[in-house]
């Protein structure tokens, strides 16, 4: 639960402009879905319901108690089961801006291996006698060579 609370804290405190949170009165048991929910067993339920089991109406009351000018809640709308359609898109012609200078940046596309090789060169400049491949290795393990007859 401690790790779940930490993750919830991180998720809720990283938003800059807006944070939406979905809450549902979930029940783990099969069959009868009436009665207390299992929300109180989660990190969010622990904070909302103070760890006490409650039914869906109790969960809603706990959420409403938190609402003020900065926190609002709304019930999810029932979908109409229709595929989403894009609104009419403007057909205005778009133009890309033209670069007015010559690109003079010294850059290149590389791979992780390329970065590793370049990093070894920097280490060699700082410590010329450092064997980068053997750094941190206490001893070299000799492995027997295999032949087609073994």
Taking the C-alpha atoms of residue 101 and residue 112, their distance in angstroms, rounded to an integer, is 31
Compute the average pLDDT of residues 21-50. 83
Integer CA distances (angstroms), 6 to 1, 39, 48, 52, 89, in order: 9, 17, 15, 20, 43
Compute the average pLDDT of residues 127-139. 57
**Looking at per-residue confidence, does 95 or 103 come out higher?**
95
Taking the C-alpha atoms of residue 69 and residue 121, their distance in angstroms, rounded to an integer, is 58
Taking the C-alpha atoms of residue 63 and residue 18, their distance in angstroms, rounded to an integer, is 18
**Looking at per-residue confidence, does 31 or 38 come out higher?**
38
Integer CA distances (angstroms), 83 to 79, 86, 88, in order: 10, 10, 15
**Looking at per-residue confidence, does 48 or 140 come out higher?**
48
Q: What is the pTM of this model?
A: 0.48
E-only strand ranges, 4-146: none
């Amino acid at each position: 639960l401690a790790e779940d609370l930490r993750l919830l804290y991180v998720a809720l405190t990283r938003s800059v402009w807006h944070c939406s949170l979905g809450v549902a009165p979930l029940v783990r048991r099969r069959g009868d879905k009436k009665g207390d929910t299992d929300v109180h067993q989660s990190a969010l339920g622990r904070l909302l319901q103070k760890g006490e089991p409650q039914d869906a109406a109790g969960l809603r009351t706990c959420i409403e108690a938190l609402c003020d000018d900065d926190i609002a809640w709304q019930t999810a709308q029932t979908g109409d089961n229709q595929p989403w359609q894009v609104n009419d898109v403007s057909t205005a012609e778009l133009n890309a801006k033209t670069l007015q200078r010559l690109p003079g940046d010294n850059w290149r596309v590389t791979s992780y291996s390329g970065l590793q090789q370049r990093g070894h060169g920097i280490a060699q400049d700082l410590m010329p006698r450092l064997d980068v491949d053997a750094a941190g290795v206490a001893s070299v393990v000799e492995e027997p060579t295999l032949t087609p007859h073994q």
